[in-house]
Structure formats: C-alpha cells, structure tokens
C-alpha cells in the first residue's frame, strides 16, 4: 500500500545541505469499520535516525489540515497532542527555516529537534499529500 499512498508528510532539506528528513509514511489503509491509518514517522539527521509507529485518525487528518493553515500564516503548530502517540511541533524560525520537534511521550520519552530548510511551496505540497490520503481512504 505504501506505493499507492506514499507519505502524508514529507519535509526534507534541499540537496547539498544537512540532509534532514521528517516524513510520515502511510503503511496501510484502515480496515473496514476502522478509522486509523497505520503510519510510521521517520526522522533522519546527520547523527540520528529513528522511526516511530503512529496511528492517524480522520480527526488527526482534520487537525493536520488546520496545522497547515497555521503554518501558512507563519504560526507555530503542534499536531497529535492527544498523548496516545508522538507529538509533532513545527515552528517558523526565519524565512525559509522551520524548527521541528518530535516527542515520543507515550513510549520512549525521546525528543528529537532539528532545523529544516524546506523547498518553496512546501505547505502546498503537504496539502496535496493530505488530499491524496483522504481520496485513498474514501475509495
């Protein structure tokens, strides 16, 4: 299924920079009668590579859409705040730079924070990814 759905979130530094990556890979569509996408959040830096299992609901997708609206207005956002899974925070630092923090509160208590220099149009790219996932879920 990952070939069909790909990544709900894909944030990456441009070639020739630090090579930081934060992505939320959709592994499996919800089973009939369920409302959860089976996903994996991946964080890669020069010194850290980690992945966290994440279950994303339709409410989480709505919250991600709201978070993208906040980011479009250059605001700090926090997503997946329920305490049941990782928490993702994104903060505009300066033009063309965002700070990302991933906190695995329910399990390992690990927090990874990194700067990222996303390509122009990155918010529109994330919106397109969200719509692709929603279309796949609705059939």
Task: Quick: pLDDT tens for 89-102.
Answer: 999 999 999 999 99
Radius of gyration of the chain (CA): 14
Rounded Cα–Cα distance for residues 79 and 73 (Å): 16
Q: To which residue do tokens 């923090």 refer?
A: 101
pTM score over 0.85:
yes
pLDDT class of 40 with cuts at 50, 70, 90:
very high
Lowest pLDDT segment from 31-35, 46-50, 104-108, 125-129: 31-35
Task: Quick: pLDDT tens for 106-125.
Answer: 888 899 999 999 999 999 99
Report, in this order, helix, strand and coil percent for the chain, each rounded to 5: 25, 40, 35
Higher-pLDDT residue of 59 and 32 is 59
- What pLDDT does 106 receive? 80
User: Residue 4: pLDDT above 70?
Assistant: no
Average per-residue pLDDT for the chain: 91
Residue 131 CB neighbours (<10 A) = 12
* Residues 6+ positions from 106 with CB-CB distance below 8 Å: 83, 84, 85, 86
pLDDT class of 86 with cuts at 50, 70, 90:
very high
123 to 9, 82, 87, 97: CA distances (angstroms): 10, 23, 19, 13
Concatenate the DSSP letters of all residues of 73-104 into one string: TT--EEE--SSSS-EEEEEEEETTEEEEEEE-
């Amino acid at each position: 299924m990952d070939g069909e759905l790909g990544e709900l979130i894909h944030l990456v530094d441009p070639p020739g920079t630090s090579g930081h990556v934060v992505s939320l890979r959709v592994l499996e569509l919800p089973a009939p009668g369920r409302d959860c996408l089976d996903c994996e959040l991946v964080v890669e830096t020069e010194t850290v590579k980690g992945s966290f299992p994440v279950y994303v609901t339709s409410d989480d997708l709505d919250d991600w859409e709201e978070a993208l609206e906040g980011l479009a207005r250059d605001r700090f956002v926090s997503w997946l705040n329920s305490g049941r899974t990782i928490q993702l925070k994104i903060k505009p630092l300066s033009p063309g730079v965002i700070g990302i923090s991933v906190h695995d509160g329910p399990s390992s208590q690990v927090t990874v924070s990194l700067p990222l220099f996303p390509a122009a149009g990155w918010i529109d790219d994330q919106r397109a990814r969200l719509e692709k996932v929603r279309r796949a879920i609705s059939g």
